[in-house]
Amino acid sequence: MPAYAVIGAQWGDEGKGKIIDFLAENAAVIARYSGGNNAGHTVINDAGTFKLHLVPSGICWPHAMNVIGNGVVVDPEVLLKEIGENDLAPERLAVSDRAHLIMPYHIVLDELEEKRRGNAAIGTTGRGVGPAYVDKVSRQGIRVGELLDPEDLAMRLPEIVAFKNEVITKIYGGDPVDLDEIFALTNKWASKLSAFIRPVENLVADALNKDENVIIEGAQGALLDLDHGTYPYVTSSNPTVGGTLTGLGMGPSSYGGVAGVFKAYCTRVGSGPFPTEIHGDQGDRIREMAGEFGVTTGRARRIGWFDGVAAKYSARVNGFDGMIITRLDTLDGWDEIKICVAYEIDGVPTDQFPVDAVTLDRAEPIYESVAGWSESTRAITKPEQINPGAKAYLDKLEEVVGIPVKVVSTGPHRNETLVIQDLLD
Ligand code: IMO
Ligand code: MG
């Protein structure tokens, strides 16, 4: 099974990093394909706790090559920080020369654009990710590989910075960025990063040709996808499976499978519709118990019950062949657990996920309840250790979403993982 994708199936923060770290033991390459340091992935293993934003979650395994694909937008300051903190060498990390750079003016614009949106703000992470993708599409972006050609960059940069400063000052009334400072930064980035910059599509292809496992690491989630998510409350890339091919430069025939990572409940950070949101004490209880605060921005995550309508939609647009359920242990000790099995919109029941955010905002969830369980599922690693109540909940999720549960996470540590069916077989 050479290529296997692990994709966020909800609104991000599903626990992808933990799962990737677990799976990377048996992989030669771990590759990110979309997003930037808007991601926040927590990896906990015997070596410690790692909070990662840009580098893939396979970095704790000495044998693994970690790849940042062309579809990712790269803030070199964040990359240098993560390389330094984790002592990464070019033998273990490669960055695509085709990936686009997040420049200082993208971060400035992210903040100014959000301010201007006022009440309609998206609640972005403020990391410049959206504006960097805008420049990629409008063909004003700067690619990582251009750092290696300072003369060419010196010719392009003044025009781009002049244009950005017009937008910053004349449209938003902000302070202009300084061309010389930016040019100096690009020189620093070039000298410190050059050894990491490579045509990573070759690296991925070589591993696949040798029949080595390549794990494709999702960031964000399907419901934040620019095309398939709750537009306009989305991120500016394609976290769904299609993004893996464009974002890494590989073909679909390499694929052995695609798994969706789902929390046993739902969370969302930032604005946008969230039909199963739990307001009040119950939501607060889950947030406090599970530490549901953003790794990137520290914001309190909104909490909701498992949304089966959204989950089925996510499974369909990604072609998931299995579910990875995380945070099951957070639900230990509840009397009753709800699962949304349909919506009622303007009095009409439906199991279809609406196309627009305004309609989704009017969706009233129709719930089914399962009895909770009092036994702890924390740290269990074998299917026979699952108590009947938790088993009934997992069975219900399978029934609602229509695909099998293959892996269950029963705690944040790498070892707190229960494999029902091996993903990489
Ligand atoms: P991981 O990889 C959760 C959300 C932001 C905001 C919207 C747009 O940890 O699952 P952006 O900065 O991308 O322009 O913000 O997307 N968002 C995430 N939410 N997890 C993430 O990543 C996210 N990355 C972006 O909160 O609502
Ligand atoms: Mg996260």
Domains of the chain and CATH, by start? 3-74+200-419 (3.90.170.10), 100-195 (1.10.300.10)
CA-nearest residue for atom 15, ligand 1, is 124
Kindly list the catalytic residues. Answer: 13, 41
Closest CA to 416 of 56, 4, 22: 22
Kindly give the distance from the C-alpha atom of residue 388 to the centroid of ligand 1, in angstroms, as a whole number.
35
Q: Which atom of ligand 1 is nearest to the CA of 124?
A: 15
The ligand whose atoms approach the alpha carbon of 230 most closely is: 1
Q: Which atom of ligand 1 is nearest to the CA of 40?
A: 9
The ligand whose atoms approach the alpha carbon of 302 most closely is: 1
CA-nearest residue for atom 11, ligand 1, is 124
Record the pTM: 0.97
Dihedral of alpha carbons 73, 75, 78, 81, sign: positive
Q: Give residue 1's pLDDT.
A: 59
Kindly give the distance from the C-alpha atom of residue 37 to the centroid of ligand 1, in angstroms, as a whole number.
9
Q: Give residue 211's pLDDT.
A: 95
Kindly give the distance from the C-alpha atom of residue 134 to the centroid of ligand 1, in angstroms, as a whole number.
16
- Give the three-class secondary structure for 403: coil
**CB neighbour list of residue 53: distance below 8 Å, 6 or more residues apart:** 37, 38, 39, 40, 41, 78, 82, 295, 296
CA dist., res. 231 & res. 226, Å (int): 7
Pocket lined around ligand 1, Cβ cut-off 6 Å: 8, 11-13, 38-41, 122-125, 127, 129-130, 219-221, 224, 235-236, 269-270
CA dist., res. 417 & res. 60, Å (int): 17
**CB neighbour list of residue 112: distance below 8 Å, 6 or more residues apart:** 168, 172, 174
The owner of tokens 């579809």 is 71
DSSP string for residues in 3-40: EEEEEE-SSS-SSHHHHHHHHGGG-SEEEE-SB-TT--
CA dist., res. 224 & res. 232, Å (int): 9
Kindly give the distance from the C-alpha atom of residue 294 to the centroid of ligand 2, in angstroms, as a whole number.
6
CA-nearest residue for atom 20, ligand 1, is 12
Q: Which atom of ligand 1 is nearest to the CA of 130?
A: 14
Q: Which amino acid is at 43?
A: V
Q: Residue 213 burial (CB < 10 Å; 0-12/13-18/19+)?
A: buried
Task: Write out residues in the chain with pLDDT < 50, as ranges.
Answer: none
